[in-house]
Amino acid sequence: MNSQAEFSNNTILHTLQLASKLDSITTVEHFVDNLSGEYGFSDEIYANVLTCLSEAVINAIVHGNKEDINKKVYLNLEVVEGKRLIFTIADEGEGFDFNNIPDPTSPENLENLTGRGVFIIKKLADQCIFNTKGNELELHFKI
């Protein structure tokens, strides 16, 4: 489900409601492809947005909602004056303590197969803000 509404100050809002199953990532990929075409993303912005949203949505599905098909992942986007993207990704899970994530670059974690998503998101987004509970993430990108 994708809807779009226009607000004052040249702000446009897009919303997606995703099932808590991994193939929902295809919907996210199509969403980013459409946004890129509409707003003319550079290759770098396209890659950063796609990577961050994919990581955030997969984390919400797997870790937040624990792949419970009765729960949803909500993705909202505010496009501000065609210059800034503000994504909000929220799940219906219990949240997590985002301040105590193991550093994936420390020697004892280098060979771990998981645990890099939040680290990658923080490196690629211009700004990354978690809510207090840890089940909602806001990502900012300048375009």
For residue range 34-56, list pLDDT tens digits in order. Answer: 999 999 999 999 999 999 999 99
Average pLDDT, rounded, for the chain: 91
For residue range 74-99, list pLDDT tens digits in order. Answer: 999 999 998 999 999 999 999 988 78
Residue 92: closest CA among 125, 33, 136: 136
Question: How many Å apart are CA 10 and CA 79, to the nearest integer?
Answer: 8
The full set of domains in the chain, from first to last, is: 2-142 (3.30.565.10)
Residue 87: closest CA among 136, 25, 135: 136
